Chain A
Amino acid sequence: MQVTVKLFATLSQYAKVGPGTPFEMELPEGATVADIVNQLKLPQKEVKVFFVNGRARSSDWPLRSGDEVGIFPLIAGG
């Protein structure tokens, strides 16, 4: 199945595109957010917040074809 992935802030260096620029990924059926983290070799310590279709989800969230996934490190501001 295919999902759309966006990496933000310090994580964007792990994609070959700019921060927040969406790119497509091919994943096996039943894959989770954690599989994206592994496949892209994102540093486990840095990945913190996952969004699937605009809702915050945990890393074991099962994905479906066409999902949009945003991955953030720990950030804050105001």
Chain B
Amino acid sequence: MWILRLNMSDRTYRLEEVPAAYKNLGGRGMTSTLIRDEVNPLCHPLGPNNKLVFAPGIVTGTAAPTSARISVGGKSPLTGGIKEANAGSAWPQHLAWMQIKALVVEGQPKEKGKCWMASLKWDAKAGKPKVEFFPADQYKGKDLYEVYPKLFRRFGDKVAIAGCGVAGEYGYANSGIVFNDLAKRPSRYAGRGGLGAVMASKGLKFIVTDGQGAPSVNIVDKALFEQGMKKLAEAMRTHSVTQPKGGLNTYGTAVLINIMNEAGGLPTRNFSSGRFEGAAKIAGEAIFEGNKKRLGKELYNHACSPGCIIQCSNTWYKRDKTEHTSCVEYESDWALGANCGIDRLDDIAEMVRLCNAYGLDTIETGTTLAVAMEAGVIPFGDGKKAIGLIRQMGKGTALGRILGGGTEFTGKAYGLTRIPTVKGQSMPAYEPRAVKGIGITYATTTMGADHTAGYTIGPEILSVGGKVDPLTPEGKAALSRAFQATTAFIDSTGHCLFIAFPILDIPSGFEGMMEECNGVLGTSWKSEDAAKIGAEILKKERAFNEAAGMTKADDRVPEFMRYEPLPPHNQVFDVADSALDSVFGEL
């Protein structure tokens, strides 16, 4: 098992045996541990001392269902703290097959304005991975939809590609790292926190992986692994959320638009209301019905990555039956739709397409546009002008660069007080004043406002993994803490976080996940160990953030949420500071 280091100062690489202390790490556990151990928390995120770490999960590369996730970590230019963003793609499977537990990008070229790409293959003769560097200057400034097909032609159909777009090249704090989906689109983003800019700052444009002929993942106890895999797959196939033609497969993640709107927790027009009158027009149901009308047949969703049995990625089609874009996720649909007061799916799809083309995080982009709308740069609800602003981000105009700096940066530039961020990262698609537990997660997670870090929406809104009142703050610190710890573990397994829906309701599914990990690693973890292992990861991340200068004062929601009641429930965020502090205080 290897740690592969790419030194971008001189374009050399080094393979190291994985140290014993890292043996059982994967995904987020690996990226966060490596960053805590090796990166100076006070370094500039875009300087030579930051590192960018890619780690497949513990079971990634095996036949475990829905497990082709890649964690990407580094010090974030958006938050100034530690970051783990993850995505589903074939890309991490290639790393796992080559037995690479972590790929670490280090250093910085002295040659100004130059960039390279790295091709990573299995060297059968030497019995280890091999890296070649090539100049990539010809791909600079280009639309990723143009570049990815060229790279597939050059390196072959079987490879997978990670890359950054112009947003990264400009150093935007709102820039993601993009991986190809199964149809080779540049569409699967480790989007949040500006890691695209970190990659570009290393002079690295693409990493092309090809694990053909590699030995694949070493499984210590195959029988146990297979038993776990069966239990997990069974839970996923029987739970109504994840089963074939269930909610996710039919309507995609945007199935949440209507339920969040009904609950009064769908942030609308820059977090000024919890209800959007145009919600039904942009919801998952409208995407399904719209495609049916345009294509003349029902279209179910596809997998973003190999081996996924949930298959929740949608595609939006134009009137002429050609593809407009994939994927209109709930978060993108909300950020670029409801939160901007935009109710036309064709406009939202165009904005998603542009974000993919430029390498932008759709969430941070939508929340930034909404702040610009509040500032009067363009009116709320004007889809065409919103598209124009994203194009400015792609061109790198002066306004485009301000917007590329993210929601907080833009809000400051225009002197606003309603800036929905925590630790510099914008809130995603759930209103903290209408759903108190998710507000606690936003405030306290090491990542900056992030729903995936502790998704209390399950019990607070969806009746998954329990049922609690979203409007009460009671008991929510403990709920958020438990979700954050378990999530840090799931993010380390390599499974998509959506397996949480079935396994929180079906205990044998949870056991299955643990048995898979035990089978691969030879450990003897029990279900209750997941939260303990996750808590250790959270503590490492927290230690990094504290050393980077963050304090309890950074674990707060923006002040306007304390004094502006949110319609329709007219609630403020009434969680006590002591409750927020208890999330990590009692971890």
Contacts and interface: CB of A to CB of B under 8 A. Distances in A.
Contact of B289 (A19, A70, A76): A19
A20 B451 contact: no
Contacts of B248: 75-77
Interface string A36-78: 0000000000101101001110000000000000101111111
Nearest to B286: A19
B258 A8 contact: yes
Contact of B250 (A10, A55, A74): A10
Contacts of B470: 56
Q: Is the interface of B mostly helix, strand, loop or mixed?
A: helix
Contact of B253 (A6, A73, A77): A77
A21 B281 CA distance: 10
A74 to B, nearest CB: 4
Contacts of B455: 78
A19 B287 CA distance: 11
A77 B311 CA distance: 12
A53 to B, nearest CB: 8
Given A9-B285, A19-B280, A77-B248, A49 B241 contact: no
B285 A12 contact: yes
Nearest to B274: A54
Contacts of B259: 8, 49, 70, 72, 75
* Interface range for B: 35 or more
Contacts of A6: 262
A10 B259 CA distance: 13
Interface string A1-14: 00000101110100
Contacts of A76: 241, 247-248, 255-256, 458, 462, 464, 498, 501
Contacts of A20: 258, 279-280, 283, 285
B115 interface: no
Contacts of A73: 240, 247
Interface residues of A, number: 24
Contact of B247 (A9, A19, A54, A55): A9
A49 B462 contact: yes
Interface in B241-288: 241, 247-248, 250-256, 258-259, 262-264, 275, 279-280, 283-286
Contacts of B463: 48-49, 56, 74
A77 to B, nearest CB: 3
A9 B463 CA distance: 16
Contacts of A70: 258-259, 262
B497 interface: yes
A48 B255 CA distance: 15
B569 interface: yes
A30 interface: no
A18 interface: yes
Contacts of B252: 77
B451 A78 contact: yes
Nearest to A68: B262
A56 B263 contact: yes
B169 interface: no
Interface in B43-100: none
A77 B283 contact: no
A46 B312 CA distance: 20
Contact of B331 (A12, A74, A78): A78
A49 B461 CA distance: 8
Q: With a 10 A CB-CB cut-off, give which of A10, A21, A48, A75 has the most chain B CB atoms.
A: A75
B241 A74 contact: yes
A77 B256 contact: yes
Candidate in B279, B458, B461 with the most chain A CB atoms within 10 angstroms: B461
Contacts of B365: none
A6 B259 CA distance: 11
A21 B458 CA distance: 25
A77 B254 contact: yes
B247 A74 contact: yes
Q: Which of B259, B283, B498 has the most CB of A within 10 A?
A: B259
Contact of B255 (A49, A55, A77): A77
A78 B497 CA distance: 9
B431 to A, nearest CB: 12
Given A8-B259, A12-B285, A21-B280, 10 more contacts: A8-B262, A9-B247, A10-B250, A46-B240, A49-B461, A56-B467, A75-B462, A76-B464, A77-B248, A78-B330
20 contacts: A8-B285, A10-B247, A19-B289, A49-B462, A51-B262, A54-B262, A54-B569, A56-B463, A56-B469, A72-B259, A73-B240, A74-B247, A75-B247, A75-B251, A76-B458, A76-B501, A77-B248, A77-B252, A77-B330, A78-B452
Interface of B: 240-241, 247-248, 250-256, 258-259, 262-264, 275, 279-280, 283-286, 289, 312, 330-331, 451-452, 455, 457-458, 461-464, 467, 469-471, 497-498, 501, 568-569
7 residue pairs, one from A and one from B, having the closest CB atoms: A77-B253, A19-B285, A75-B247, A20-B280, A70-B262, A74-B240, A76-B241
